[in-house]
A and B are shown apart, each in its own frame.
Chain A
Amino acid sequence: MRFIVGVDIGGTFTDCVALKTSDDGSPPEVRIGKASSTPPDFQTGFINSLRTAAEMHGVSLQDMLANAQVYHGCTVGTNALVEHKTAKVGLLASRGHSDTTFIMKAGSRLKYMPAKYIAHVAAQTKPEPLVSKDLCEGIDERITFDGRVFAELNEDTARAAIRRLVDKGVEAIAISLIWSTANDAHEKRLRELVREIAPDLFVCISSEISPRVGEYERTIATIVNALIGPPMRNYLDALEVDLEQNGYTRSLQIMSCAGGLIDSDHAAEAPVLTVGSGPVAGLIGAASLAKTAEVGGGRNVITADIGGTTLDVGTIYDGKPVRRPTASYGQFEYFVPTLDVRSVGAGGGSIIRNETGILKVGPDSAGARPGPVCFNRGGTQPTVTDAAVVLGILDPAYFFGGQITLDVAGAEAALAQVGEPLGLDARETAAAAIQIINNQMADSIWLTLTQQGHDPREFILYGFGGGGGVHGAAIARELGLKTVVVPMSNLAAGWSAFGISASEALVTEQTGMGLASPFDPAAINAEWPALEERVRQKLIKQGVAPKDIVLKRFAELRYSLQINQVEVPAPDGEYDAGTVETLVQTFETEYERLYGKGSGFAAAGFGLTGLSVHGTARLSDLTVGEIAHGDENANADPVKGTRDIIWYGRGKEPEPARIYEGPRLGVGSTASGPAIIEYSDTTVVVPHDCTARIDTTGSVVIDLHDVA
C-alpha cells in the first residue's frame, strides 16, 4: 500500500487528492479530502486535509504519511504577494540603471490590463514600487553584452551600499546587474559581500533566478523571489516539522509554474517558481490525461479552468503544454519559465450589472465573500452562479453535494432588479448574462489561440474547476469545437490537486546567449555540460535516481532583424557545423509553423539568444488513465428525475431535462441532451443535440458533432 498525495491550497479550501496504489495490479483508488484553508498558518489546513483523505481511505494520517509521497501546490508565495505581506527587500543594481523597476518600460506595463483600464488614460497610474527608492542602490560596475568587464566591481562602494541596506532593516536582498547573463562574476561577488556583511539575509542573484536577456523582467523576477523568499522559508520549515511529526520522512515536493515538481529546498531558494503553480497544475493533469489515455481523442487540447473569479486558459499542442517565458504580477512583468496559463476575469462570481443601458458581466467578481446572492452570505449583486440557479442549471438543494442550500428567490430578485431598466425579467436577465459570459470566455480562448498561432477548430476542450462542466459545452459550441471533456467527472472540481499528484519532477536550467550566425559550435559546446550537470545535481538532491533522469536540450533563436524568439529542441552530443545547421533548420520550420509561410527573413542571418536544459524524472509509477473511478450503485437507475431548465438561446420557456446522478453512470454509459449530470462537486450540462459518454477514465466526454 502506497499513497501519492497531492495538496492544493486555495483561498477558501485546501484540496487533498490521495491516490492509493497497491502491488496486486488493481487500479489506484482515489479519495478527495477537503478542509478549510487556515491563513496565515496554511500548514494547519494542509494537515487537516491530509487527515480527511486518510480517513476516507480508512487509514490513520500517520499510516498514510509513512507510506506516502507528498506533492504540494504551494500558494504561500502567491498569497504573500496578493496581500502585500512580503519581506522588506533591498535591490543592488548597476549604477545608472537602478530606476529600471520604476520606469517599467513605460506603456509595456499596461499590456495585460483590461481594455477599459488601458483606454481610460486619466485613471492610469503605476503600482507602488516593489522596492522603494531608498532601498535601491546603484553599484559601480559594468559588464558589456559580449561579457567583457567594462568597469570592474567597486567593492568599497558596494560594501557601503550593502551596509546602508542592512542598517535600514532589509530582510532580503535582490541583486540584478546589467548583462549578468553574459558574465555573472559581479553578481556572484556581490552575493559573497552580502553574506560577509549579513550572513542571515535571504539573497538571490538574477543570473541564477532568471538568466534571460532583458534587465527589467529579470530584475522583477529577482525582486519577486526576494519578496517571498523569507515567508516561503518560514512556511516550508513549519510544514516540514508538522509532516515529520506525523511520520513523513521523504522530501516534500513542490509544484512549480514550469509544470513539474521541485524539492522544497529548491522552492525555498527560488520561490518565484511557485507563483502561479496552481493553474499550471490543472494543465499538467489535463496533459497527463490527454497523453496517457487520449481522453476525448485529441492531442490538441484547450483547458478551461473555471473558478469563482477567473477563467484560466491553457493550451496543449500535440500533447505538450504550451510554455511562455514571462509571467506578470499586476503591472509587473517578469521572466520565469512557465506554462502559458492566462487568467481572464470571468467565473461563477462574475457580477452582472446594467451599465448605461447595456447588460455587462464581469470582470469584477463577488469572490467567495460576499459571494453570489444565492449563497446568502451578504452578496447583493447578482452573479453568474445566481443566473445558473435561476435558469435551473444548478440544483439549489444539491450544491456542493447539498452542503450549501441556495436561495433561489434572492437570486431572482437581484437579477430582476438589474434587468428592470432594460425591460428584462429575472429569467431573461439570467439567460442574457449566461450567454454573454459564455461568449466572453469563448472570445478570450479564441484570442489566446490566435495569439499562439493556432486554429481553434483543431482542438478539443477540457473543462474543469467548479464551472468547467457548466460552461464547457456552450464555450465549445461558440468556438466550433466538437468535443468537450470534463476530466474524471467529480475530480474536475479539485483538478489542480489531482494535477499535482500526476506531475513529474522537472528542473530547468537556462543561460542567455548573444551569438550571431554562423554560430560557433565551440561556444555552444561550452555551455551544455554545465547546464546538464546543474540539472542533474538538483534532481539527485530531489531524491531522483540518476538513471531515471531524462534530459532535453532547447535553444532559443530569432532572425537577426526580427524580434520573435522561438524555442526549439536542440540536438544532443557535441556540436559541429552540421549540428548547428540542423538547429537553424529546426528553427526555420518551427518559425514558419508559428508565424506563417515566408514570414522569416533569413538573408540577414540568425541570432542564438538562449540555451536551456530540462530534466524530468517520474517520481511514481502512477498511470493516470488507470485510476479507479466511481461507479458505485452502477445498477441503480442513473436518472434521478427531470427538471425544468431555461435553455438560454432557445427562448425563455423552460424545457424539461433529465437529471443524472453522476456516480451511477458507469463506464460506457451515455446521456443524451438536454440533460444535467450531477456529482457532489461538479455539474455537467449536456445541451440539446449533444451526447455525453463516460469513458474508461471516468471522464465525461460530450460529443457536439450533431450541433448545428
Chain B
Amino acid sequence: MTKPDPKAWSGKVHSYRPAADWKARVDDRLELHEDVAEVLDPTDYEVIRQKLWTINLAHGDTITRISGSPVLATLDFNMSILTEDADVVMNAPYIQFLNAGAPLGIRYIMENYSTAPGIDEGDIFCCNDPWIAACHQMDVLFAAPIFCEGKLFGWAANAGHQYDLGGIVPGGWPQNAEDVYSDPVVLPPFKLVEKGVMRRDLEALYLRQSRLPDMVALDLRAQLAGVRFAREQIVQLCGRFGAATVKAAMRQMVDQAQESFRKKLLSIPDGTWTETRYIDEPMPFSRTTQRTQLSVTKKGDRLTISNAGTDAQTPGTNGIPFVTWAGSITGIISVSMLYEQLFAYGGCERQIDYEATPGTLTCVDYPAAVSGGILHAVTMMNAMQAVLSRMMAASEELKGDIVAPCAEFMLPVLIGFNDRGEYFGQAILDGFACGSGARSFGDGVDTGGPNFSPLSMILNTEQLEQWYPILCLYRRSDPDSGGAGKWRGGNGLRLGITPYRAQSMDIVTNTGGQGATSQNGQGLLGGLPSPASHYVIRKGTELATLMAGKRLPQTAFDIAAEETLWLGPKSNGTPLSKGDIFEFRVGGGGGYGDPLDRDPQLVARDIELGAISPDAARNVYGFDPEDSNARSRLRESRGKWRKLETSDETRVLATGEPDLAIHEYVVATDRNGERVLACAKCGERLAGFSGSYKDGALVTEVAITTIPSAPDPARYIDDEMVLRLFACPGCLTQVSADIARAGEPVFEEMRLAAT
C-alpha cells in the first residue's frame, strides 16, 4: 500500500505518485541531457548558483509585471527551476506549497506523454488536476521543457492562482461542494503551446468555464511569459558555461541541499513525532469535526511520513490531495531546515518516504471536492511545523530554528454590486497578517505573516476601499490573539468593515482547520495554542449616531446593535447591509514554553503596549501587580491535576551516554541503571526512554475558553473540544498543552526509538 504502485497511484482515483522506476516508461526517443562536467570550478558553481536564483526571481517578476493582477501581485504563486528528471533546484520565497506539484506533474507528463503528443523544444504544458500536480484547481501549473543540444536539459515551471475557473461559487472556493463535480473545472496535463505556438483551440477550452475569461487569459499570458523567459535565460546560461557545467552545478545544489538536510537529521535522535489536528464542518452547518494525524518517524538520516489515523474522506470540502499534503511537508522543511540552500528542496525529497493512506482526508481519492479545501493545507503545514519544531528541540544545533505554528487561514469573500452596478467578488487576504509563532529564544512577530510564505502581504486600507465598496472602520493588532508562553506567539489583527456605496454585499466564509472554533497555532513544549478567530456581523448598529457624535467604534462590540450573527467556519453568503458591521479576527501564532516561565517584566510590557489584557496576564501568566503571590498560587493549583494511569513499563537500560535535552523541559538521562526521560528542571522521572513523557505528567482537561479571548466551539460544532494541559509532577512546570476532541486518548507527542 505504501510504496507507489504505478497502477494504483496513477492519478485516476488515487493521486499520481511516480514509482521508483518511472523513468523506464519515458520514451527512449526523448533524450535526456544527463551529461555532467566531471570537474566543476568552485567559482563557476557560485556564479551559476547566483544566476539561477536571479533568473528564478526574474521569472516571478515577469509574471507579476505582465499580469498586473491583484491576485498575482500578492504573490499567490511560486516558480521553480528543475532538472531534466524534475528535481527542484530553485524555488521562490512565496507560498511554499503552491508549486509542489511541479515535480509530480512533470514526471507524469514524461511518463505518460513522451510518446504522444511528445515533448519538444518550445512546448509548454498546462495542468490543474489535483490528483496529478495542482494543490487545488485554482493554482494552475505551467511547465516548459528546456532543451540544450537537442536533449531535455531541465524544466521551468510556475503555478499561480486564478480569478475564476468555474464551479458553483465564484472565486473557486465552493464550501458547499459535495464532490469534484461542483468544483472548478479539472484539467489533466495538456500541451497548450506546441513548438512555440499557442494552441488556440486549447486556450478556448481552458477559458470556457471561467466567469472572468478575459482576466484569466491575461494571467495565462503572464504565466506563459514567465516560463518562456526562464527557459531562454537557462539556455543562454548553458551556451555560456556549457550545459554539462550548468548541470553539474544544478546537481551539486540539490546534492548539497540533501547533504545539509541529512546532517541536520543526524543531529536529532531517532524516534516518532505525531500531531493530531481537526478540520471542522465538511459541509456548511454540518456541526461536526474530522480528525487528521501526521506522524514523522526519523531513523538515521531518513524520514518516513505517514497520515495513518486520519479520517476517511466524506462528501464535502475537508480533504486535500496527496500533492497538497506532501507540498505542505516539504514547504515547512524548506523554511525550517533548508533556508541556507534557498529552497533547493529537491535534495530533501530524496530523504523522505511517504506512507500515505489513500481515501483519507489528507490523501483524497477522485472525485472528492478539493478546491474549497485548500486552506487545510495551512492546517497540515501547521501540523508539520509543530512536529518539526519538536524534533528540532531534541537537537542543540537546531533548537534556534524552532518556530511555533502560525494561525489558520481565515478567508472571507465579499460578493455583490457597488452603487454603479459593477460586480465585485474577491477574498480579503488579511490572513497574511497573522501572527507568527513563538521561537525558542523570543516572541513570535506580531502581524508578521505566515512562516510558510515570508513575502505575502496585505493591501493598504485605502486600496481595499478603492477595490470594494466598503469602509474599514478599524484594522489593528488584536490583543491576546497570540498563544501564551515563556515566549508568546505574535498577535494577529482585527478588522471591522461596513458597506459604503454598495448596492448589495454578501459575506462568504472559508476557514482552515479549526481556526473559527477551537484553535489557531498549536502551542509548543508547554506553550498554549493561540485562540480561534471569529467572523461576526452586528446587524443594524448605531453607527450613524455614533459618527454624528464624532466618535468611532474600536470593535464591533462597543456599539449597540439590533442583532449579532456569528458566522461559522464555512458559510455561503450572509447579506451585509448599510449600518451593519462585519468583524473578523486574524489569528496569532502559538506560544512556546510554560507561560509561568515568562519574565514578569515582559508581561508588564505586553500589558503596557496593549499586546495582552490584564485578565490574561492574571489568569495565564499569574501576573498581578496587586498580588505578588498570584504566580506561585497558579503554579501550585496544578498540583491538583490528576496523574495519568499508564501501562507502558518498557525499560531501556542505561547507556552511559551524556544527558540529552529532547524538549524544553525534558531530558534523556541515566537513572539507577535505566535510561529515562526526566524533567530538565527538577529531575523528576516522567517515563522510560522509549516511553511517552506525558505518561508521567499530571494532566487536566479544561474548557477551551480558558484560553484568553477564545470563543466557545459549541457555537459551531457539536463535538466537544477540550484543552488538555500537562505538568511535571515534581516542579509543576507545564510541559505540554493540546486541543483534543473529548474522549480521545492522550496524544502521543513523541516517542524515541530505543537503540
Tell yes or no: B471 within 8 A of A by CB: yes
Contact B465 A144 (CB under 8 A): yes
Tell yes or no: B454 within 8 A of A by CB: yes
What's the least CB distance linking A170 to chain B, in Å?
18
Segment of B50-58, B110-118, B516-524, B531-539 engaged in the interface with chain A: B50-58
Contact B58 A450 (CB under 8 A): yes
Q: How far is the CA of A145 from the CA of B501 in the complex (A)?
A: 10
Tell yes or no: A247 within 8 A of B by CB: no
What's the least CB distance linking A383 to chain B, in Å?
17
Tell yes or no: B455 within 8 A of A by CB: yes
Q: How far is the CA of A151 from the CA of B451 in the complex (A)?
A: 38
Identify which of A100, A104, A453, A563 contacts B68 (C-beta below 8 A): A563
Q: A443 to chain B: which residues have CB within 8 Å?
A: 50-51, 54
Q: How far is the CA of A151 from the CA of B67 in the complex (A)?
A: 38
What's the least CB distance linking B473 to chain A, in Å?
6
Q: Which residue of B lies closest to A602 (CB)?
A: B214
Tell yes or no: B321 within 8 A of A by CB: no
| A144, A150, A600, A604: most-surrounded residue (chain B CB, <10 A) | A150
Residues 557-568 of A, flagged 1 when their CB comes within 8 A of B and 0 if not, give 011011110000
Tell yes or no: A636 within 8 A of B by CB: no
Contact B447 A104 (CB under 8 A): yes
Contact A446 B54 (CB under 8 A): yes
A106 with B550, Cβ < 8 A, contacts A116-B342, A121-B454, A599-B218 known: no
Tell yes or no: A96 within 8 A of B by CB: yes
Q: How far is the CA of A557 from the CA of B473 in the complex (A)?
A: 28
Identify which of A110, A217, A440, A451 contacts B454 (C-beta below 8 A): A110
Q: A144 to chain B: which residues have CB within 8 Å?
A: 465, 471, 500
What's the least CB distance linking A389 to chain B, in Å?
19
Contact A436 B47 (CB under 8 A): yes
Contact A596 B400 (CB under 8 A): no
Contact A96 B447 (CB under 8 A): no
Residues 604-615 of A, flagged 1 when their CB comes within 8 A of B and 0 if not, give 100000000000
Residues 536-576 of A, flagged 1 when their CB comes within 8 A of B and 0 if not, give 00000000000000000000001101111000000000000
Q: Which residue of B lies closest to A216 (CB)?
A: B460
What's the least CB distance linking B719 to chain A, in Å?
32
Q: How far is the CA of A574 from the CA of B225 in the complex (A)?
A: 41
Q: Which residue of B lies closest to A361 (CB)?
A: B46
A99 with B455, Cβ < 8 A, contacts A122-B403, A435-B43 known: no
Contact B550 A120 (CB under 8 A): no
Tell yes or no: A688 within 8 A of B by CB: no
What's the least CB distance linking B263 to chain A, in Å?
10
Q: A600 to chain B: which residues have CB within 8 Å?
A: 68
Q: B439 to chain A: which residues have CB within 8 Å?
A: 122
Contact B460 A603 (CB under 8 A): no
Tell yes or no: B205 within 8 A of A by CB: no
Contact B552 A142 (CB under 8 A): yes
Tell yes or no: A154 within 8 A of B by CB: yes
Segment of B267-275, B408-416, B474-482, B652-660 engaged in the interface with chain A: B474-482
Tell yes or no: B604 within 8 A of A by CB: no
Tell yes or no: B93 within 8 A of A by CB: yes
Identify which of A96, A104, A154, A215 contacts B476 (C-beta below 8 A): A96
What's the least CB distance linking B239 to chain A, in Å?
12
What's the least CB distance linking A684 to chain B, in Å?
24
Contact A563 B58 (CB under 8 A): no
Q: How far is the CA of A564 from the CA of B65 in the complex (A)?
A: 7
Contact A514 B493 (CB under 8 A): no
How many chain B residues have a CB neighbour from A under 8 Å?
82
| B43, B51, B461: most-surrounded residue (chain A CB, <10 A) | B43
Residues 70-88 of B, flagged 1 when their CB comes within 8 A of A and 0 if not, give 1001000000000000000
A214 with B432, Cβ < 8 A, contacts A121-B451, A358-B42, A446-B54 known: no
Interface size class of A (residues with CB under 8 A): 35 or more
Tell yes or no: B466 within 8 A of A by CB: yes
Identify which of B42, B442, B461, B474 contacts A215 (C-beta below 8 A): B461
Identify which of A98, A105, A447, A599 contacts B221 (C-beta below 8 A): A599
Tell yes or no: B2 within 8 A of A by CB: no
Q: How far is the CA of A653 from the CA of B547 in the complex (A)?
A: 80
Identify which of B43, B225, B339 contacts A116 (C-beta below 8 A): B339
A126 with B446, Cβ < 8 A, contacts A105-B458, A115-B93, A432-B42 known: yes
Identify which of B221, B449, B466, B471 contacts A514 (C-beta below 8 A): B466
Contact B550 A105 (CB under 8 A): no
Identify which of B50, B67, B221, B403 contacts A439 (C-beta below 8 A): B50
What's the least CB distance linking A414 to chain B, in Å?
18
Q: B455 to chain A: which residues have CB within 8 Å?
A: 107-108, 110-111, 118
What's the least CB distance linking B447 to chain A, in Å?
4
Q: Which of B444-463 contact A (CB under 8 A)?
A: 445-449, 451, 453-463
Contact A96 B552 (CB under 8 A): yes
What's the least CB distance linking B480 to chain A, in Å?
15
Identify which of A124, A140, A564 contacts B552 (C-beta below 8 A): A140
Contact B403 A108 (CB under 8 A): no
Identify which of A154, A181, A447, A559 contacts B54 (C-beta below 8 A): A447
Contact B460 A215 (CB under 8 A): yes
Q: How far is the CA of A598 from the CA of B462 in the complex (A)?
A: 29
Contact B43 A436 (CB under 8 A): yes
Contact A596 B225 (CB under 8 A): yes
Q: Which of B254-303 contact A (CB under 8 A)?
A: 260
Q: A444 to chain B: which residues have CB within 8 Å?
A: 54
Q: B459 to chain A: which residues have CB within 8 Å?
A: 105
Q: How far is the CA of A440 from the CA of B46 in the complex (A)?
A: 10
Contact A145 B465 (CB under 8 A): yes
Q: B547 to chain A: which residues have CB within 8 Å?
A: 142, 150-151
Q: How far is the CA of A579 from the CA of B554 in the complex (A)?
A: 46
Contact B214 A601 (CB under 8 A): yes
Q: Which residue of B lies closest to A213 (CB)?
A: B462
Contact A107 B50 (CB under 8 A): no
Q: How far is the CA of A594 from the CA of B476 in the complex (A)?
A: 37
Q: Which residue of A lies closest to B443 (CB)?
A: A125
Identify which of B463, B501, B550 contacts A140 (C-beta below 8 A): B550
Tell yes or no: A369 within 8 A of B by CB: no
Tell yes or no: A705 within 8 A of B by CB: no
A563 with B69, Cβ < 8 A, contacts A110-B454, A111-B455, A436-B43 known: yes
Tell yes or no: A178 within 8 A of B by CB: yes
What's the least CB distance linking A189 to chain B, in Å?
13
Contact A115 B53 (CB under 8 A): yes
Contact B448 A118 (CB under 8 A): no
| B215, B457, B477, B609: most-surrounded residue (chain A CB, <10 A) | B457
What's the least CB distance linking A662 to chain B, in Å?
31
Contact A150 B471 (CB under 8 A): yes
Q: Which residue of A lies closest to B450 (CB)?
A: A107
Contact B447 A102 (CB under 8 A): yes
Q: Which residue of A lies closest to B552 (CB)?
A: A95
Contact B496 A96 (CB under 8 A): yes
Q: Which residue of A lies closest to B553 (CB)?
A: A96
Q: B465 to chain A: which residues have CB within 8 Å?
A: 144-145, 179
Q: Which of A78-126 contact B (CB under 8 A)?
A: 95-100, 102-108, 110-111, 115-116, 118-122, 124-126
What's the least CB distance linking A325 to chain B, in Å?
13
Contact A451 B58 (CB under 8 A): yes
Residues 255-271 of A, flagged 1 when their CB comes within 8 A of B and 0 if not, give 00000000000000000
Contact B335 A178 (CB under 8 A): no
Q: B552 to chain A: which residues have CB within 8 Å?
A: 95-96, 140, 142, 151
17 sample A-B contacts, Cβ–Cβ < 8 Å, listed by A number: A95-B554, A105-B458, A105-B459, A118-B455, A119-B93, A119-B335, A124-B445, A134-B609, A151-B552, A152-B550, A217-B460, A432-B42, A435-B47, A559-B68, A561-B69, A595-B65, A595-B66
Which 6 A-B pairs have CB atoms at the shortest separation, nearest pair first? A96-B474, A562-B68, A108-B457, A154-B550, A106-B449, A119-B339
Q: A359-B46, A594-B65, A599-B218 are in contact. List 10 more A-B contacts (CB 8 A).
A: A95-B474, A98-B476, A119-B93, A122-B403, A133-B609, A431-B43, A435-B43, A443-B54, A451-B58, A562-B70
